[in-house]
């Protein structure tokens, strides 16, 4: 394929002085299995660095822009904004999938639109920007292409809160009574159990959920209850 990163660089309004490093950010590990000749690397190490850089940028941003929130809320907000789906959406908007180097098998399996590959590529690209341009430019890139039009909404609408917490606040404020969670079934061996849990309010079933832990099943049940209540 003809690799043309210039439109991406124009969109980002960032110039990268090391074209080899930039290209490495788009080398999926599957591509190395089929590539013949030369000494190339996958984007895995860059993705590792980018993950850490993104964590620092996000933590710094939350600390400076949302001083009234506590560390527990910071953790939940960060998890909501840097999850795979959010990174993949940002990567798709930048067109990163079109620039990926993939094996034929990965290509045939829809690798260019696979969320995990796109998220990893976004983090690898962030690492390149950080190494080539420094923290401030990297932070500006994240704020522009990941945080903008997303982070404020997540915070203001409390979308970072676990469904179980939202449901509890609703009933505590409206009914002065907490929802009750009951285990319906518990299946599988001790090391690999699956739980089905139902949540009740005022004696009525309002949601059920299944998960590999009680906590996960309760969260799924609470999410189902919120959907039923249109919350």
The residue among 151, 93, 88, 85 whose CA lies nearest residue 118 is 88
Cα–Cα distance measured from residue 230 to residue 227, given in angstroms and rounded to the nearest whole number: 5
Catalytic residues: 51, 123
List the beta bridge partners of residue 27.
101
Under 8 Å between Cβ of 98 and 121: no
CA 224, CA 205: separation in Å to the nearest integer?
11
| Strand, coil or helix: 28 | coil
Which helix (H) or strand (E) is 57 found in, with range? Answer: helix 44-65
Using N-to-C axis directions, what is the helix angle for 115-133 and 44-65, rounded to 10°?
A: 80
Cα 7 to its chain centre, rounded Å, is 25
Spatial CA neighbour of 14 closest among 153, 125, 166, 169:
125
Round to the nearest angstrom and report the end-to-end CA distance of the chain. 47
Name the helix (H) or strand (E) containing 60: helix 44-65
Pairing status of strand 194-201 against strand 204-211: antiparallel
């Amino acid at each position: 394929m003809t690799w043309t990163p210039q439109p991406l660089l124009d969109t980002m309004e960032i110039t990268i002085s090391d074209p080899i490093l930039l290209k490495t950010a788009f080398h999926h590990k599957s591509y190395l299995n089929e590539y013949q000749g030369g000494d190339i690397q996958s984007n895995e190490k860059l993705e590792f660095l980018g993950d850490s850089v993104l964590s620092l940028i996000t933590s710094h941003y939350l600390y400076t822009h949302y001083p009234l929130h506590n560390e527990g809320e910071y953790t939940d907000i960060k998890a909501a904004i840097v999850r795979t789906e959010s990174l993949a959406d940002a990567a798709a908007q930048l067109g990163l999938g079109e620039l990926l180097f993939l094996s034929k098998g990965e290509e045939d399996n829809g690798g260019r639109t696979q969320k995990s590959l796109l998220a990893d590529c976004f983090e690898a690209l962030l690492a390149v920007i950080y190494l080539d341009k420094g923290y401030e430019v990297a932070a500006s890139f994240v704020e522009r292409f990941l945080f903008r039009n997303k982070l404020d909404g997540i915070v203001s609408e409390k979308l970072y809160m676990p469904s179980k917490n939202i449901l509890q606040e609703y009933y505590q404020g409206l009914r002065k009574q907490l929802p009750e969670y009951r285990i319906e079934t518990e299946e599988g061996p001790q090391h690999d159990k699956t739980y089905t849990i139902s949540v009740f309010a005022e004696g009525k079933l309002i949601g059920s959920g299944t998960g590999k832990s009680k906590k996960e099943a309760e969260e799924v049940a609470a999410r189902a209850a919120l959907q039923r209540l249109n919350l």
